[in-house]
Amino acid sequence: MTASNIKTIFFTAIFMLLASSGGTAEPLKLSLHELLIIGMDNSPQIEIARQQYLGREGVLTQARSGYLPRLATSAQIGRMNIDGASPDEDNMTAAYLSISQLIYDFGQTSGLINASAFTRDAAVENFDEVAQQVAFAIKLAFYQVLEKQRLITVAEEAVKNFEQQLYRAQKFYEAGVRTKIDVTNAEVNLSNQQLNLLRARSNLKVARTNLENVIGMKPNDGNYELEYDEPELQELSEAKPDLPAALDDLLLMARDNRPGLARFELLTQAAEASLKQAEGGYWPVFDTGAYYQAYESDLPTLADQWQVQVGLKWEFFSGFETSGKVAEARAQLSEIKAELRNFELSLTREVTDSYLRAEENRDAVDIAIRSLSLAMENMELADGRYKAGIGDILEFNDAQFLLTENQSNLVIAFYDYLTAIADIERSIGMTPELIDYDPLKLEN
């Protein structure tokens, strides 16, 4: 083995060791849109809704079979004895072929087909509603992670400021300018801020776990970062997006686009078709059929047979079964109509609530920006006064706490505003990131 081969093997082993330990692995960058696609592909809720649709498609196929002919065949083999015949016993083989076709049943089959078709279409709307809910949950989790990351930055800045204050307090104490209480006070505040930083980092871990739960997987085995163009704190007011539309326009959009509303309307039509199907049980059923039976035997009484017929079946009394089915169908129709009305009322409430909440958080961002500017100015004054020896440690602490509080309030208000906009999109049934995406994937 040459020195070159030994070097190659050595560096290959080092590379594999680093790769296996994740030392050189770059974190995966994920945007909100990419997380939404991952969630649509992996969410159990999405898969449940998809399978419900496919099940309803199968029910519709079964219902349509009522208008198609029925073909059946059978075969038998055995030995038969017939008294008085000559010969009176022989092996026997028989084959049977039949065909039947429904002619008319006074809406029973057509009602079943229509009810199944409307229910299938309602399952599509239900899937879209679930997709909107999952998309909102992903956005909420996404913004929570970003918020927790920004709050860590705020906590880190507070820790840094208190570390600097502790250093100055120690120097002033050593110089005899300040008392020991300033040093002790700075140490206590630093410890408290370090605890807040620890909690902020823990909150981020919880938020990331929640995001992974919502999208149904842990991307890149947890080695990922979220991509979002986050402006500086002082620029959040200018960076915040506008509201999608005025409240009246949003209410109109919701009536045109909210999948849940269309789902209840389709279920109402399905219930009406089911009522027609049930009422058809009061009337006769007309059908036609034919069969052919062939025998292979020496017995003289077993001859090939065929028959063509048109039939009518009318069940005059069924133990009130038909009446019970009609009563059940009518009750179901009334129930769905009441649910539709309830959903219409809740739709107005949801859109209005989400819009008002967004307005509140939009204004809160502007107020928080102004408060932060004042808190920063107050901090500069308190810091300067302490350095000059005319301000005390308590004045500095109050200024620092006020600054940290206003920074946190601004971060929370900004991401609450983004979440409120996402809730508006959910309430009107229009998530922009899903416009060109088909999570139902009917081609599969």
What's the confidence (pLDDT) of residue 82?
76
Cα separation, 111 vs 279, whole angstroms: 9
Give all domains of the chain, ordered by start, each with its CATH number.
35-68+106-283+323-434 (1.20.1600.10)
**Mean pLDDT across 206-235:** 90
Q: Please answer whether residues 84 and 294 qualify as being in contact, where contact means their C-beta atoms are separated by less than 8 angstroms.
A: no
What's the confidence (pLDDT) of residue 119?
94
Closest by alpha carbon to 112, among 81, 72, 66?
66
**Is residue 22 within a helix (H) or strand (E), and if so which, with residue range?**
none
Cα separation, 82 vs 90, whole angstroms: 9
To the nearest whole number, what is the mean pLDDT of the chain?
Answer: 87
250: phi then psi, degrees, rounded to nearest 5? -65, -40
Closest by alpha carbon to 289, among 79, 76, 35, 97?
97
Alpha-carbon torsion (268, 270, 276, 279), positive or negative: negative
Out of 174-183, 223-232, 295-304, 419-428, give the one with best mean pLDDT. Answer: 419-428
- Which residues are within 8 A (CB) of 28 and not within 5 positions of it... i.e. 6 or more apart? 219, 220, 223, 224, 225
pLDDT band (50, 70, 90) for residue 442: low
pLDDT band (50, 70, 90) for residue 149: very high
Alpha-carbon torsion (159, 165, 168, 170), positive or negative: negative
| 3-class DSSP state of 311 | strand
- What is the amino acid identity at position 129? E
| pLDDT above 90 for 247 | yes
Query: Could you tell me the end-to-end alpha-carbon distance of the chain, in angstroms, rounded to an integer?
Result: 54
Residues 337-392 pLDDT 10s? 999 999 999 999 999 999 999 999 999 999 999 999 999 999 999 988 888 878 78
Choice among 154-158, 172-176, 189-193, 224-228 with the minimum mean pLDDT:
172-176
The vertex-341 CA angle with 47 and 277, nearest 5°, equals: 70
**Mean pLDDT across 389-417:** 91
Residues 268-304 pLDDT 10s? 999 999 999 899 888 888 889 998 888 887 777 778 8
